[in-house]
Amino acid sequence: MMRASTGDNGSLGSTGLDGNAGPGGQGTQAAPSRQLIVCEGMVKIYKTSEVDVEVVALQGLDLHVAPGELMALVGASGSGKSTLLNILGGLDRPTAGRCEVAGWDLARMDERDLTQYRRTVIGHVWQQPGRNLLPDLSVRENIEFPLVVAGESSRRRAARSGELLEMVGMVDQARARPTQLSGGEQQRAAIAVALANNPAILLADEPTGELDSRTAAAVFNALRLLNRQLGITIIVVTHDQSIASAVDRTIAIRDGRTSTETVRWANMAGGDAGSYAPGAPVATESVLIDRTGHLQLPAAVLHTIQFNGRAEVRVVNGHVELWPAARPDTRSAGANPYTQSAPPPGPMGGSAQNSGPGPMAGPYAPAPLSAPIPGPISGGRASGPASGGAPDPGSGAAPPHPALPNPARANPWQ
């Protein structure tokens, strides 16, 4: 369930879009948006100084994140996950495109604004404990250190660190040094440090990567508890399938673009319409479509149907069909591109069975990839037989995607 904090600056709740919504200077604060994070057409190109080589890490990536989401970014190594996280965290800049976070325009900010942004809007949890905690300070002192830098009073620091220690279950280890803690305790302490300044967003880069499965589950449960109680937005980069399948939304990144999205819905028999439940049996996987119409078909589809680099697109009875297109060097006036051999000639030089290049029955006819749509597609999502959603309880049919009309549920993305 999406939430926004209602606490004041002295409470434990996230400041969201108010107190830490943007920089003081003009020209870098974005217009108000219902989305906490808006990335559109974002490009990141790395250039090497020794060799004249350019590496394109992000290729027009689009991403929208609502306040209060708990979501995961997944993808192969080199797909662009960490690059995206570094840009959202203010550690890197996009080469081109739009990137706005909590009212801050990251593409136009100077170093002073970036420093303020990192201190007030973003909290980081890294995979390596050495990047999260100062070894010479106790757990409580590590939590209070960001508050010292921010100029908070000792009373305020003590109250805040006490609240966070209780939230992550580390009260008994408050005086311990990082070297005296287990791996799971170190990561829970790191989460408390990241939340010290009431950030609107918590970025976690493989927070369970060096932990065993049982300890990883405990760390993730701590993240989920904080998400539910504080309303803080949490984005987790992970290769752990058990973590990726337990969040509200999973975005797959491939070749520098967002590829697919999986949304998990609460069981309607036991939850409110439009609410989420971790690991709920009702889930919908969709292919993401950017504003220019680009999409990435899942690898399983490409292995099942040989498109050979081309597809014919048709709108038929309210849905879109993709059919493997004939190669230009094999198409002829009397050949049917959907068969392995040319059929007998028919009237006007066409096929006796099929005078046009439309779908046909038979052992050589490929199966279309269909995507139901309520009207013209102008960017967003498409789902179909390749989408693997679980059926609604009692309905016997696959659940509709949140982007499609559904009288039984609210749309969380509007």
Q: Count other Cβ atoms within 10 Å, centred on residue 335.
A: 15
- Residue 124 confidence (pLDDT): 93
Residue 52 binned pLDDT confidence (cut-offs 50, 70, 90):
confident
State how beta strands 201-205 and 122-125 pair: parallel
Q: In degrees, to the nearest 5, what angle opens at C-alpha 278 toward C-alphas 34 and 133? A: 80
What average pLDDT does the segment 306-323 reach?
84
What the block records as the tokens of 117 is 């942004």
- Please state, in angstroms and rounded to a whole number, the distance separating the CA atoms of residues 318 and 315: 7
Of 410, 408, 402, 406, give the one whose Cα is nearest residue 64: 402
Greater confidence, 380 or 179? 179
pLDDT exceeds cutoff 90 at 48: no
Residue 414 binned pLDDT confidence (cut-offs 50, 70, 90):
very low
Distances (CA, A) of 139 to 13, 66, 69, 72, 209: 21, 32, 28, 27, 21
Residue 33 binned pLDDT confidence (cut-offs 50, 70, 90):
low
- Residue 242 confidence (pLDDT): 85
CB 2 within 8 A of CB 66: yes
- Residue 28 confidence (pLDDT): 46
Residue 372 identity: P
What average pLDDT does the segment 117-144 reach?
91
What average pLDDT does the segment 19-25 reach?
42
- Residue 71 confidence (pLDDT): 93
- Residue 382 confidence (pLDDT): 65
User: Is the whole-model pTM more than 0.85?
Assistant: no
pLDDT exceeds cutoff 50 at 353: no
Greater confidence, 111 or 397? 111
- Residue 370 confidence (pLDDT): 47
What average pLDDT does the segment 317-332 reach?
74
Provide φ and ψ at 203, rounded to 5°. Answer: -105, 125
- Residue 384 confidence (pLDDT): 53
Q: What is the pLDDT of residues 265-307, one digit of tens each?
A: 654 444 443 444 444 446 777 788 877 777 888 777 878 888 8
Greater confidence, 234 or 6? 234
According to DSSP, residue 178 is labeled G
pLDDT exceeds cutoff 60 at 398: no
State how beta strands 282-289 and 311-316 pair: unpaired
- Residue 277 confidence (pLDDT): 43
